[in-house]
Amino acid sequence: MHEAGVGVTLFYIAVVLLAARLSSLVERFGQPAVIGEMLIGVVLGNLALAGLPFFEPIKQSGVITFLADLGVVILLFQVGLESNIRDMRKVGMSAFLVACVGVVLPMVFVTYVIGPLLLPDLSANAHLFLGAILTATSIGITARVFRDLGVLQMREAQIVLGAAVIDDVLGLIILAVVSAIVTVGTVSAGDVLRIVGTALAFLVSAVVIGQVFAGLLGRMFARVNTGQGMKLTMALSICLISAYLAELVGLAPIVGAFAAGLVLDSVHFHPFARPRFVQDVQATTARIEPQAKAAVDEILDRYTDRHIEDLIEPLGAVMAPIFFVLTGMNVALSSLLDPTFLLTALGITVVALISKIAAGFVAGNVNKWVVGWGMVPRGEVGLIFAATGLGLGVIDQRIFSMIVIVIMLTTLLTPPILAVVVRRGERRGMAVEAASAKA
Amino acid sequence: MHEAGVGVTLFYIAVVLLAARLSSLVERFGQPAVIGEMLIGVVLGNLALAGLPFFEPIKQSGVITFLADLGVVILLFQVGLESNIRDMRKVGMSAFLVACVGVVLPMVFVTYVIGPLLLPDLSANAHLFLGAILTATSIGITARVFRDLGVLQMREAQIVLGAAVIDDVLGLIILAVVSAIVTVGTVSAGDVLRIVGTALAFLVSAVVIGQVFAGLLGRMFARVNTGQGMKLTMALSICLISAYLAELVGLAPIVGAFAAGLVLDSVHFHPFARPRFVQDVQATTARIEPQAKAAVDEILDRYTDRHIEDLIEPLGAVMAPIFFVLTGMNVALSSLLDPTFLLTALGITVVALISKIAAGFVAGNVNKWVVGWGMVPRGEVGLIFAATGLGLGVIDQRIFSMIVIVIMLTTLLTPPILAVVVRRGERRGMAVEAASAKA
């Protein structure tokens, strides 16, 4: 039940939440809120350098780390809810091309060029691992930036989200294959096929089975109770179970959460009662003039239809910032003081940037810079790869720290630049659309 | 960041949430939802007896235990938000009397009568500890039952909540004193005064300082950002920090959460923007006939004013059931197979029931059965006491299990009986009020 010291964890959670909210001041400077959350995380996480180690226990807390993971799971679920399978299908081919190029380029460049050049004393296997680590785009960071800017429905955003899911799958396949090469020295074609097969089977069956079962579950749960709590629990449980199933087949849990959001549609929640408040307003406006009533009803319909997003919103608003503040906190500024370390990290970062921006150029008739920069941030998947390499002994603690710095740099650089690129693109929107209509 | 196995925990959370929701079927039989949550917890937690140990890891999960604690903290915060300092003050004297009698009776009865009678081979110190354990009412269970029944504003409910806070404070003082007696053999009057002083100082300053600071904080935070996320984060952070401060001065975190809810008032959130949806409806109804518009505006005002409760609601709806399901899961049905153990536990339970019901009879001119039964459930505080006794070596593992059974029995028996007593009281409400008007 209640254990001594639970209060301290509650306090740390409050610190993270308040820091995250206060950091939304960056929005005044046109930056997405996520960059503020990561920056204040960097500050909180490095206060020990200034002799103020008050917040160090936050990094070690298993509970807060879990809450951060849960936060990014809920965020990806929200992004999935706001995305749409039909829209995703339209960008399928572009997303697939962007994903493939964005996986092959950093893999080849880092393994065969920049790795041997900047880190000549490492083994060929270490270079291979370094390349693999930099393949997977962090869907969390990019999705959050697009969301903060209110452009999730934009074609470019849909391509990036699709490509990020695909290169997450490709990346996890590469990780499995590279791990096999490093440990066993070789890998059979059968193993590769099995890994690829499971991943694809999960995603396809999530979408196909989900479409059928979500409606069935909705009717079943609504039979027990049509309240708002039931509606929220049903949606959230489908998200959590899908995240678990993704992990079971070897994918990142966030991929499962995204798939769950993609599958759930407002139609699955129609058997539930409308919120009490909507019922109240409807009862009151029943007597007013028909035209005004129609206008109010339209808002109410829109509100009820997207009410599952609204129910999840407070949970997401509380949980997701924990992940981004904690990500910032894990950047050790002290390691930046070693110039060789710093230069090597910067060199790898430049390659990591260029190889993904280049991938944007195969995206077809869209704003290629938005797609390219959208693919830049590496995140949780890259960190899982790095942790796996550390566990296998292919890379050491120093290289691990360097990878964390590279991942953080790609992540910190992206939001402000992506915000600028998106806004510039929006201003030129008319011109681009006119040109594309001509072509 | 992301650790392997996080998906399994997500899955277990989904299991607990779904079980809790499905258990709301008990509402069809007129029972409060909380009893369903605890019963399904007992089933899930004892499936291992039937050879199905799938859910055993849930009990061991540090993360889920923390989420349960967080759930009960958020629940008490909600109860505090729905309570009102002025109403609490009106019942202050009755609450104080009920609390004192409800602490003295079980303490004396168990220590000097039933303890030596049923457990003669235990030491006098163990009997003393057993008595202390049964003093504190679990505000969580009772608050939840009153809330499920929609009678939180009832005078009896306010007396019970007030008395539960007071006997929590009294109980923690007794624990500190009894622990000192057991370990040192004696305790100074200065120590007792210090413990009492800190506890009282916390509660008084929480209410007084809170009244001033909450308004100030509201204006400060609203200056950074007037959005709904900020509003929720501010409210939640005040709750978490207050829970932490309560723990710091030696009280249960839930007491701090309740105090925070009591202090926060809708007025502190007026500097924040109204929800987008309210703004939309207002813009649309601006043109309709004045009388209808006034009616809609009234609903919108009511909605906006209690909007902080509505923002917290989804969080509470998800989190609080985790505590109650987990409480049920920790009941080991297997120990009930030993008849001596069972009879002793039942004997202590009867004393635990009678001594608190008797306390209801000093509540003054209200429904004494509602107050008395409202005081019956012991919960998290009793369990902390028991764990402390186990740590000090005053009681052994067997007595600890017995205490857990007693606490669970008081907790499982209360919701259905309280529901009956409250409903019977409501039917007789007119008669009682008429009689009290005459007196």
**A215-230: pLDDT as tens digits:** 777 777 777 766 667 7
* Whether the Cβ atoms of residue A87 and residue A158 lie closer than 8 Å to each other: yes
Residue B4, pLDDT > 70, answer no
- The rounded distance, in Å, linking the Cα atoms of B137 and B378 is 5
Q: Which of A173, A170, A150, A153 is nearest to A161 (CA)?
A: A153
- The rounded distance, in Å, linking the Cα atoms of B245 and B253 is 8
Q: Which residues of A308-320 are buried (b: 16+ CB within 10 A; e: fewer)?
A: bbbbbbbbbbbbb
pLDDT tens-digit series, residues A341-372: 888 899 999 999 999 999 988 888 888 899 99
Neighbours of A266 (CB within 10 A): 13
Cβ A8–B292 below 8 Å, yes or no?
A: no
Closest residue of B to A387, CA-based?
A: B3
pLDDT of residue B430: 47
Three-class DSSP category at A52? coil
Q: Does A2 reach chain B within 8 Å, measured CB to CB?
A: yes
Cβ A281–B287 below 8 Å, yes or no?
A: no
**Sequence-distant (≥ 6) Cβ neighbours of residue B73 within 8 angstroms:** A10, B239, B240, B243, B253, B254, B257
- The rounded distance, in Å, linking the Cα atoms of A381 and A135 is 9
Q: Which one of A268-282, A374-388, B421-435 scores highest in mean pLDDT? A: A374-388
> Which candidate from B3, B63, B296 shows the least CB-CB separation from A284?
B296
Q: Phi/psi class of residue A51: alpha, beta or left (left: φ > 0; alpha: ψ in -120 to 50)?
A: left
Tokens matching residue A152:
């999730």
Neighbours of B136 (CB within 10 A): 29
Q: Which of A131, A195, A430, B99 is nearest to A122 (CA)?
A: A131
- The rounded distance, in Å, linking the Cα atoms of B130 and B122 is 10
Quote the DSSP letter at residue A337.
Answer: G
Residue A6, pLDDT > 80, answer yes
Cβ A230–B25 below 8 Å, yes or no?
A: no
Q: Which residue type does A52 have?
A: L
Neighbours of A165 (CB within 10 A): 25
Q: Hunting for tokens 């003050």 — which residue is that?
A: B89
Query: H-helix or E-strand containing A312?
Result: helix A307-329
Q: Which residue type does A78 have?
A: Q
- The rounded distance, in Å, linking the Cα atoms of B108 and B270 is 50
Give how far the C-alpha of residue B261 lies from the chain's centroid of Cα atoms, to the nearest Å. 13
Distances (CA, A) of A46 to A378, A403, B202: 22, 18, 33
- The rounded distance, in Å, linking the Cα atoms of A246 and A257 is 8
Q: Which residue type does A149 have?
A: L
Mutate to test the interface with A, among B3, B6, B287, B303 (most CBs of A within 10 A): B6
Tokens matching residue A7:
């209060």
Which residues of chain A from 119 to 178 reach within 8 Å of chain B, CB to CB? none
- The rounded distance, in Å, linking the Cα atoms of B64 and A269 is 28
B301 pLDDT tier (thresholds 50, 70, 90): low
A4 pLDDT tier (thresholds 50, 70, 90): very low
Neighbours of A66 (CB within 10 A): 23
Q: Does B187 reach chain A within 8 Å, measured CB to CB?
A: no
Rg, C-alpha atoms of chain A: 23
B438 pLDDT tier (thresholds 50, 70, 90): very low
Tokens matching residue A398:
């120093």
What DSSP assignment string belongs to B182-247? HHHS---HHHHHHHHHHHHHHHHHHHHHHHHHHHHHHHHHHHH--SHHHHHHHHHHHHHHHHHHHH
Chain A nearest C-alpha distance from B214 (Å): 15
Cβ A233–B73 below 8 Å, yes or no?
A: no
- The rounded distance, in Å, linking the Cα atoms of B180 and A280 is 57
Cβ B317–A228 below 8 Å, yes or no?
A: yes
- The rounded distance, in Å, linking the Cα atoms of A35 and A214 is 35
Closest residue of B to A318, CA-based?
A: B233
pLDDT of residue B1: 34
Cβ A253–B2 below 8 Å, yes or no?
A: yes
Cβ B232–A314 below 8 Å, yes or no?
A: yes
Chain A nearest C-alpha distance from B296 (Å): 6
Query: H-helix or E-strand containing B94?
Result: helix B92-109
- The rounded distance, in Å, linking the Cα atoms of B221 and B236 is 13
- The rounded distance, in Å, linking the Cα atoms of B252 and B428 is 36
Q: Which of A354, A366, A367 is nearest to A410 (CA)?
A: A354
What percent of chain B shows pLDDT beyond 70? 83
Q: Phi/psi class of residue A393: alpha, beta or left (left: φ > 0; alpha: ψ in -120 to 50)?
A: left
Cβ A243–B7 below 8 Å, yes or no?
A: yes
Quote the DSSP letter at residue A273.
Answer: P
Angle between the N-to-C axes of helices A124-133 and A380-392, in degrees from 0 to 180, rounded to the nearest 10 = 160
* Whether the Cβ atoms of residue A362 and residue A351 lie closer than 8 Å to each other: no
Q: Which of A48, A42, A27, A25 is nearest to A326 (CA)?
A: A42
> Which candidate from B2, B10, B228 shows the least CB-CB separation from A384?
B2
Q: Does B3 reach chain A within 8 Å, measured CB to CB?
A: yes
pLDDT of residue B218: 75
Neighbours of A279 (CB within 10 A): 12
Residue A394, pLDDT > 90, answer no
Phi and psi dihedrals of A361, rounded to 5? -75, -5
Q: Does B294 reach chain A within 8 Å, measured CB to CB?
A: no
Angle between the N-to-C axes of helices A92-109 and A124-133, in degrees from 0 to 180, rounded to the nearest 10 = 150
B439 pLDDT tier (thresholds 50, 70, 90): very low
* Contact residues on chain B for A62, CB-CB shorter than 8 A: 62-63
pLDDT of residue B227: 67
Q: Hunting for tokens 């962007």 — which residue is that?
A: A98
Tokens matching residue B371:
């107050």
Distances (CA, A) of A112 to A102, A339, A352, A358, A405: 16, 24, 14, 18, 21
> Which candidate from A66, A285, A288 shows the least CB-CB separation from B63?
A66
Q: Does B280 reach chain A within 8 Å, measured CB to CB?
A: yes
* Whether the Cβ atoms of residue A140 and residue A164 lie closer than 8 Å to each other: no
- The rounded distance, in Å, linking the Cα atoms of A131 and A188 is 21
**Sequence-distant (≥ 6) Cβ neighbours of residue A437 within 8 angstroms:** none
* Whether the Cβ atoms of residue B371 and residue B106 lie closer than 8 Å to each other: no
Cβ A327–B287 below 8 Å, yes or no?
A: no
* Contact residues on chain B for A285, CB-CB shorter than 8 A: 285, 292, 296
- The rounded distance, in Å, linking the Cα atoms of B401 and A36 is 49
Distance in Å from the first CA to the final CA of chain A: 66
pLDDT of residue B123: 85
pLDDT of residue B15: 93
Q: Does B327 reach chain A within 8 Å, measured CB to CB?
A: yes
Cβ A233–B21 below 8 Å, yes or no?
A: yes
pLDDT of residue A336: 73
Q: Hunting for tokens 């109410």 — which residue is that?
A: A300
Range from A202-206, A280-284, B116-120, B210-214 carrying the lowest mean pLDDT: A280-284
Q: Which of A163, A34, A137, A106 is nearest to A378 (CA)?
A: A137
> Which candidate from B18, B66, B287 shows the least CB-CB separation from A237?
B18
Q: Which residues of A19-54 are buried (b: 16+ CB within 10 A; e: fewer)?
A: bbbbbbebbeeebbbbbbbbbbbbbbbbebeeeeee
A187 pLDDT tier (thresholds 50, 70, 90): low
Cβ A244–B14 below 8 Å, yes or no?
A: yes
- The rounded distance, in Å, linking the Cα atoms of A77 and A65 is 19
- The rounded distance, in Å, linking the Cα atoms of A167 and A105 is 12
The better pLDDT of the pair B178, A437 is held by B178
Residue B244, pLDDT > 90, answer yes
Chain A nearest C-alpha distance from B352 (Å): 21
**CA quadruple A282, B300, A227, B416: dihedral, nearest 10:** -120
* Contact residues on chain B for A78, CB-CB shorter than 8 A: none
pLDDT tens-digit series, residues A32-57: 777 788 889 889 988 888 888 888 88
Which residues of chain A from 22 to 81 reach within 8 Å of chain B, CB to CB? 22, 24-25, 27, 62-63, 65-66, 68-70, 72-73
* Contact residues on chain A for B10, CB-CB shorter than 8 A: 70, 73, 240-241, 243-244, 253
Q: Which residue type does A394 have?
A: V
Stated pTM of the model: 0.79
Cβ A63–B62 below 8 Å, yes or no?
A: yes
Cβ B229–A25 below 8 Å, yes or no?
A: no
Query: H-helix or E-strand containing A68?
Result: helix A62-82
pLDDT of residue B429: 64
Rg, C-alpha atoms of chain B: 23
Q: Which residue type does A82 have?
A: E
* Whether the Cβ atoms of residue B71 and residue B323 lie closer than 8 Å to each other: yes
Distance in Å from the first CA to the final CA of chain B: 66
- The rounded distance, in Å, linking the Cα atoms of A187 and A177 is 7
- The rounded distance, in Å, linking the Cα atoms of A78 and A232 is 12
How many CB pairs lie under 8 A apart between chains A and B? 224
What DSSP assignment string belongs to B117-170? HH-TTS-HHHHHHHHHHTS---HHHHHHHHHHTT-TTSHHHHHHHHHHHHHHHH
* Whether the Cβ atoms of residue A320 and residue A72 lie closer than 8 Å to each other: yes
A276 pLDDT tier (thresholds 50, 70, 90): low
Neighbours of A193 (CB within 10 A): 10
Q: Does B221 reach chain A within 8 Å, measured CB to CB?
A: yes
pLDDT of residue B89: 77
Q: Does A260 reach chain B within 8 Å, measured CB to CB?
A: no
